[in-house]
Amino acid sequence: MSDAADAQTPIRAGIPEHGRVPKYFAVKTRLEGVLDDLGEGGLLPTERDLAAGFGVARETVRQALRELLIQGRVRRKGRGTVVAGPKLIQPLSTASYTEGVRRQGRVPSRNLIALERLAADPVLAAELQLRPDAPVWHMERVLLADEERVGLESTYIAVARLPHLERDFAPDTSFYAFLRERMGLEPVVVDERIETVLATPREALLIGTPPALPMLLLHRSSKDADGVPLERVRSLYRGDRFSFTVHLDTTAGSSSSGSGSGAGSGSGKA
């Protein structure tokens, strides 16, 4: 495990451990700063001007723009490209990754990448209702089904909740089973959002996919029975191996349940 200071290393910005960053990804990162400055509806410079400004070939700029287009950061308007507005958010509720994979006769497992204590940034502290810089656990794991790498998950939870997580929890097992059976904790209220993205070079390397493969990204936050925030989870699944469905039953009020199909079913839960 590393110290909180390690949270700001280049690895956290999507750079692979070997340090070689594709040129298009570096351009895309710089373009994201341009988008932030322009704001929604802002018109981007032409590919020719961007290429000259960044000192790269037009095809490199074109590839970076293609990724931003797929991610919904930009959109075409006439012959130009403008900054897109926020994506629409639809409610989603799904079954746990572990349960879903087992239901389909597959064996779920996980490989631990990192289990570390970090100081919560202002956004995370607010989401978990913690004081700024309060210690949180960050656990990153590769998700597998029958030993095939299918996803990557990052979980954030307050150290005060689980002061000895590194000692008490076996990271290749279900975190939710651990919370429920060992710690008496269980998510009761859950908010989840799903979107399509491309993996960073580091994420693609860990999952074992090409960076151009579309991914399903789930953002999850949950609260316990007392309404106190419990965790924040970011789960990335291979788009060629997963699909998600949601079942709505109007005869049973507003309850809903969901499941995934493909290599296994999944959600932010593990």
pLDDT value at residue 251: 75
pLDDT value at residue 10: 43
> 44, 33 in Cβ contact below 8 A?
no
Is residue 233's pLDDT more than 90?
A: yes
Give the rounded percent of residues in the chain with a pLDDT score beyond 70: 81
pLDDT value at residue 94: 45
Greater model confidence, 33 or 87: 33
**201-230 residue pLDDT tens:** 999 999 988 887 789 899 999 999 999 999
Taken in order of first residue, the domains within the chain and their CATH numbers are 4-83 (1.10.10.10), 97-262 (3.40.1410.10)
DSSP codes joined into one string, the chain:
---GGGGGSGGGGT--TT----HHHHHHHHHHHHHHHH-TTPBPPPHHHHHHHHTS-HHHHHHHHHHHHHTTSEEEETTEEEE--PPP--------HHHHHHHTT--EEEEEEEEEEEEPPHHHHHHTT--TT-EEEEEEEEEEETTEEEEEEEEEEETTT-TTHHHH--TTS-HHHHHHHTS-----EEEEEEEEEE--HHHHHHHT--TTSEEEEEEEEEE-TTS-EEEEEEEEEETTTEEEEEEE-GGGTT-EEEEEEES----S--
Mean pLDDT of 7-14: 49
The mean pLDDT value of the chain amounts to 83
**100-119 residue pLDDT tens:** 777 777 788 899 999 999 99
pLDDT value at residue 13: 60
Mean pLDDT of 80-86: 88
C-alpha dihedral sign at 157, 161, 165, 169: negative
**132-143 residue pLDDT tens:** 999 999 999 999
Is residue 22's pLDDT more than 70?
A: yes
Tell me which residue of 229, 222, 257, 264 sits closest to 243, measured CA to CA. 264
Greater model confidence, 63 or 8: 63
**153-198 residue pLDDT tens:** 999 999 999 999 999 999 998 898 899 899 999 888 888 888 888 8
pLDDT value at residue 91: 45
Mean pLDDT of 21-25: 88
pLDDT value at residue 85: 82
pLDDT value at residue 210: 80
**Using CA atoms, how far apart are residues 179 and 248, in angstroms rounded to an integer?**
28
Greater model confidence, 6 or 50: 50
- In the block, residue with structure tokens 């109007």: 250
